[in-house]
Amino acid sequence: MALISLLAVSAIIFWCVELLPGDAAERILGRNATPESLALLREKLHLNLSAGERYLRWLSALLSGDLGTSIVADRPVLDYISSRIANTALLSGFALLLYIPVSIALGVITAIYRGKMIDHAISAIVIVFMCLPEFVIGILLISIFAIKLAWLPPLALIGQAQSFGQLIQLIALPTVTIVAAMSAYAVRMMRESLIEVLESSYVLMARLKGLPTWRVLLFHALPNALGPAINITALNVAWMIGGVVVVEAVFEFPGIGRLMVDSISHKDVPVILAISMVMTGAYIATNLVADILVILLNPKLR
Amino acid sequence: MYGKDILRISRRKVLAGTGAALAAGPLSAALHVPKSWAQAKTLRIAAGEADGATGTMDPALSTADPDAARISLVFERLVVLDDTFSAAPQLATSWETNDKGDEWTFKLKDGVKFHDGEAFTAKHVIYTFKRLLDPKTASPGASSMSAIDPEGITALDDLTVRFKLKAATVEFPALIANRFTYILREGQPESELRTAGIGTGPFKVKHFVPGEDVSTYVKNENYWRPGLPKVDAVELRAIPEESARLAAIQSGQIDLVWDLGRAGVEDLKKNADIKVVTTRSPFVLTMSCWADTPPFDDVRVRQAMKYVVDREQMLQLVLRGYGNIGDDNPVAPWVQYALQVETRARDIEKAKALLAEAGHPDGIDIELYTSETTPGFIEMATLYQAMASEADIRVKLNKAPSNDYWSAVWLKQPFVCSSWSGRGADDALAAPYLSTSDWNETHWKRPEFDAFINEARATTDVAKRTELYQKAQQLLRDDGGAIISMFPDALGATRANVSGWKLHPQQSTKDFSEVEIG
């Protein structure tokens, strides 16, 4: 099933890119193009083959494990995208590390203090972050923490990092931006389901048995309340892998999203296809992991 | 409501939690980044134009601004242009021509070495130019140097090169001082030229992979100019996002940027950590219409379109005063051979009269293409729309995507915004307006104009040559299809501890050899 999805995605993406006007040769030469230089470059890049032929060439190479060569950068696609994938994985990893405790903690606090000041305050902040586009959050964070206070560097130029500490500093602002944008739904979801669970009779039962508060919360209520939040998290992770392109642009982070945008604007088909395969794969994988987690947490589904 | 009751957390616990959070405060102080964020003697520069997978350091194929920076770190040319676009020596020490101007002999500098130790001699010059002109190289620069006969480039001895030209070209030394003619090392494999070129320049490539975010260069210890370069290493990256570029230089994450939008400059000027660097440039911002397509095929319409422009207002509103007024002539008044006449003043009545004479008593409706591809296009087009409407020239704006503006709109639509980087008089006139040019963006083809240029190129007498170039400019100004209302200054900035950097008005020339930190 997953393989069929991947194949279908690759074909759809390929034809969509075909529909875009112009070709890679024009995009590379830009305004310095002359008819002769265009013709030569097209031949060199095999752009004179028909679209069908190019797709089949790509597909047959893929089946033998070859992702092809970036026609613009003139280097193997695998080598080209792997460093970007690693960067995005790094950023996503840090974001997840921060996101999970923050979402759970805020979800629990708002559920326990439902209707109190602190619930209103947190809910309001969360909704504001939910409504603000990531680039606004990003630019706000830059102007406060990098320009005004000068605590952190404004751009995530991770090539400048000389140590792990510097890496953390460089990556802090984009991480916080992503978490701010991502946590909103999860916190809301946690709050709703936790409220529901806390009002159920088995929680009352647990309490009546004389269990301490933290035990009731951690081992009885939370696992049952996590289900919906995990599904949201899976969607969030998929979004993060492909969709943080805006965050990457604001912080000049060398990730996979920006590479995708660049490749589309250059019509670099092998790179576009490879990245969409990776993103589709990641999407399928995170959903699979989420489903498994939900099943593990809920004995009824086992 | 049992759940809520059960799980109430005592006030004491909350207070304890808050205390812990407060105690974490000093931690943030430990995170404080030193303001400079710098290591010693590495110059970190940022380009404003994107530098993606198309990046190269092959001089024959360079198109973008980051390419130009890379190339001028590593390579050098025979001849460079000075601030007024006159030829000045670099790897050549002197040159002379025969009486007709179709044979040029260059003396080369002795004792210059390539990065790998190879001595710089005539054969490298011959190799470079032959490769550049070879159709197989497909260099976009070849057509502008078509006057050179590839077979006529010969070495008289190790340090003397002679160029035989197909047509007399008095301005030949200036003609070859462009972004394509950096001298390569003969014998270096073609496959290495894109990413690991060997030149004679002040820096050697350390790491450059197209599509990766940063390229690095180290000092050439055997550089021929004594005491240079003054920094040990250079880091080059592109930060196309304007706000990000400004944040980077303000926080000291970057030491030097060479293109700034007008909007951010005022803020930077107030910042004591930053030095704003500007230079007068004949960079051309133009709106160009096809002189062979109605309604633009009538010279009176073209003149009316020029008379509606309030040039001073253009300068103030589009460029915030950082620039100079243009007079529909691509040769700025301070450049050699420039035509000196009074700038065309705004005259709405005259514009209306010209339109009526041309058979448009109710005015005309035209469509102007614009884009974000060059800073200022959108503002210029919007302001022009407002100015022109007073003379019943109704301009409809069409904002095209910037990523393929130069391939899909420019040269394809009859009325577009366009720009030309600063050039000397001959190049500025010939590249866009000669009837044989590939880039004739106004479809304006006048045999008299071509004749003036070609005659000027063959005229050795300076006064006569000046007169011919000026006649060409006068004709273009009165009859041509280009509305050139301003020449934006080049704007850049460095951290306050950086010195010795000058912005060159030729956009592709970027010399960092004299830049010093601290």
Question: In A, which residues are within 8 Å of B138 by CB distance?
Answer: 36-37, 40-41
Most confident of A227-231, B314-318, B400-404: B314-318
User: Of A22, B432, B213, whose CA–CA distance to A30 is shortest?
Assistant: A22
Question: 51-110 in A: which are within 8 Å (CB) of B?
Answer: 70, 72-75, 80, 83
Most confident of A245-254, B53-62, B348-357: B348-357
User: Of A176, A168, A175, A191, whose CA–CA distance to A103 is shortest?
Assistant: A191
8 Å CB contact of B4 and A198:
yes
Enter the tokens of residue A126.
């969360």
B295: preceding bond cis by omega (within 30 degrees): yes
pLDDT at A243: 62
Calpha distance B216→B307 (Å, rounded): 50
The H or E element that residue A246 is part of is helix A245-251
Please give the residue of chain B at the shortest CA–CA distance from A80.
B211
Please give the residue of chain B at the shortest CA–CA distance from A147.
B251
pLDDT at B35: 38
pLDDT at B180: 93
Q: Look over chain B and give the mean of its residue pLDDT values, rounded to a whole number.
A: 88
Question: Residue B200: which region, alpha, beta or left (left: phi > 0; alpha: psi -120 to 50)?
Answer: alpha
Which residue did the predictor score with more confidence, B217 or A115? B217
B481 pLDDT more than 50: yes
pLDDT at B94: 95
Q: What is the mean pLDDT of residues B240-254?
A: 87
Enter the tokens of residue A159.
């090539």
Strand partners, B103: B164
A33-42, B342-351, B442-451: the lowest-pLDDT one: A33-42
Calpha distance B381→B374 (Å, rounded): 12
8 Å CB contact of A198 and B3:
yes
pLDDT at B6: 37
B236 pLDDT more than 60: yes
Question: 195-234 in A: which are within 8 Å (CB) of B?
Answer: 195, 198-200, 203-204, 207, 213, 216-217
Question: In A, which residues are within 8 Å of B33 by CB distance?
Answer: 150-153, 169
8 Å CB contact of B7 and A142:
no
B15-29, B105-119, B274-288, B458-472: the lowest-pLDDT one: B15-29
Residue in A72, A169, A259 closest to B54 by CB: A72
Please give the residue of chain A at the shortest CA–CA distance from B55.
A73
**List of chain A residues with pLDDT < 50:** none
Strand partners, B284: B420
Instruction: Report CA-CA distances (Å) from A34 to A38, A66, B118, B296.
Output: 6, 33, 35, 26
**Strands (E) located in B321-423:** 323-325, 364-370, 393-399, 415-420
* Preferred mutation among A19, A27, A31, A224 to probe B, highest tally of B CBs within 10 A: A31
Counting Cα atoms < 13 Å in the Cβ hemisphere of B446 gives 23
DSSP secondary structure of B7-36: TPPPHHHHHHHHHHHHHTHHHHHHTPPPTT
Question: In B, which residues are within 8 Å of A81 by CB distance?
Answer: none
8 Å CB contact of A150 and B253:
no
- Is A116 touching B (CB cutoff 8 A)? no
pTM attached to this predicted model: 0.80
Question: In B, which residues are within 8 Å of A155 by CB distance?
Answer: 239, 244, 247-248, 253
pLDDT at A276: 87
Residue in B31, B54, B138 closest to A151 by CB: B31
Counting Cα atoms < 13 Å in the Cβ hemisphere of A245 gives 13
pLDDT at A44: 74
8 Å CB contact of B248 and A70:
no
